[in-house]
């Protein structure tokens, strides 16, 4: 990406984890561009396809306030990794102009500690993925063999900024970290290694969201593993393992989550006035 912010949609998203969605939805801003290149990306139209509109940090700040005015539970920044300095400026500006709801940094987990330090004090909730423990899978699926070595210190930096999970009386998250893990077809052992690492490192001070919404995109339809969905048995084994090792706080998904129809339209709504 270049030096200007590009974003594709901003709206109240009703299907995030319940502690983020609340009654009125999570105020989600989808940014364009990404620093990973996942072969199964559902959002490839914006992550690598160039869709989106250029906006200023001032406009981004206004978008945050518009989402708050619409009743959003939080500001949910999806894949803003290419625009971290601009996001910092927009949040700082919006806070001066009345933004009070929590901010959520929602990412693939492939950030440098140096970049994350720019967000210290601006972000209330981090929601990174933890995608891979093996460099081989990270290389084959996301062109990032060093993913595990980058993600581990990134998550530690995120946690050091927010501390343990804190909820309001009505169950809305105020502070802390949710780590998402998307179970992939044929990768139950990999998922178990990740859950073991997360629990050994953070205990029950974080929320773990175990996702079964992997959807085979046309680009991987002939791949021997990625061409199919995760089976009920694979997902059940991962969830049972999480329970066995003592993970108490988190989320699982129902089967209907794996549908292409959940992918938003990138119509610039909420971005351009």
Binding site for ligand SF4 (CB under 6 A): 34, 36-38, 41, 43, 47, 79, 108
> Shortest Cβ distance from residue 31 to ligand SF4 (Å)?
9
Which lies closer to ligand SF4 via its Cβ, residue 47 or residue 68?
A: 47
- Render 68-91 in DSSP notation, one character per residue: HHTT-SSEEEES-GGGHHHHHHHH
250, two tokens: 């988190």
55/53 Cα distance (integer angstroms): 6
Which lies closer to ligand SF4 via its Cβ, residue 38 or residue 210?
A: 38
Which lies closer to ligand SF4 via its Cβ, residue 63 or residue 220?
A: 220
- 129 DSSP assignment: B
Which lies closer to ligand SF4 via its Cβ, residue 72 or residue 138?
A: 138
State the Cα angle at 151 between 147 and 157, rounded to 5°.
160
Given the DSSP bridges, would you call strands 26-31 and 5-13 parallel, antiparallel or unpaired? antiparallel
Which lies closer to ligand SF4 via its Cβ, residue 44 or residue 252?
A: 44
Single out the residue of 30, 115, 39 nearest to residue 67, CA to CA.
Answer: 30
41/218 Cα distance (integer angstroms): 10
253/205 Cα distance (integer angstroms): 21
Which lies closer to ligand SF4 via its Cβ, residue 42 or residue 204?
A: 42
> Shortest Cβ distance from residue 150 to ligand SF4 (Å)?
12
Which lies closer to ligand SF4 via its Cβ, residue 31 or residue 64?
A: 31
CB distance 135 to 145 below 8 Å: yes
Q: How many helices (H) and strands (E) does the chain have?
A: 9, 10
CB distance 143 to 36 below 8 Å: yes
> Shortest Cβ distance from residue 38 to ligand SF4 (Å)?
3
> Shortest Cβ distance from residue 142 to ligand SF4 (Å)?
6
């Amino acid at each position: 990406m270049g030096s200007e912010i590009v974003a594709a949609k901003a709206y109240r998203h009703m299907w995030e984890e319940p502690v983020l969605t609340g009654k009125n939805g999570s105020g989600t801003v989808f940014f364009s561009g990404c620093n990973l290149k996942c072969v199964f990306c559902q959002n490839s139209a914006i992550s690598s396809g160039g869709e989106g509109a250029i906006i200023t940090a001032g406009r981004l700040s206004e978008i945050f306030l518009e989402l708050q005015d619409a009743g959003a539970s939080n500001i949910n920044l999806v894949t803003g990794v290419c625009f971290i300095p601009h996001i910092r400026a927009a949040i700082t500006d919006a806070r001066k102009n009345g933004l009070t709801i929590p901010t959520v940094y929602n990412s693939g987990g492939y950030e440098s500690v140096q970049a994350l330090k720019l967000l210290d004090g601006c972000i209330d909730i981090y929601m990174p993925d933890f995608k891979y423990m093996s460099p081989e899978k990270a290389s084959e699926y996301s062109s990032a063999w060093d993913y595990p070595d980058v993600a581990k210190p990134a998550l530690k930096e995120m946690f050091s900024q927010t501390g343990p999970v804190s909820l309001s009386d009505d169950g809305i998250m105020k502070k802390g970290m949710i780590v998402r893990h998307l179970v992939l077809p044929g990768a139950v052992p990999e998922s178990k290694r990740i859950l073991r690492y997360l629990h050994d490192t953070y205990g029950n001070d974080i929320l773990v969201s175990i996702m079964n919404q992997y959807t085979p995109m046309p680009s991987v339809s002939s791949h021997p593993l990625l061409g199919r969905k995760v089976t009920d048995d694979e997902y059940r084994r991962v969830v049972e393992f999480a329970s066995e090792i003592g993970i108490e706080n988190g989320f699982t998904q129902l089967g209907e989550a794996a549908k292409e129809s959940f992918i938003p339209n990138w119509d610039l709504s909420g971005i351009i006035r």
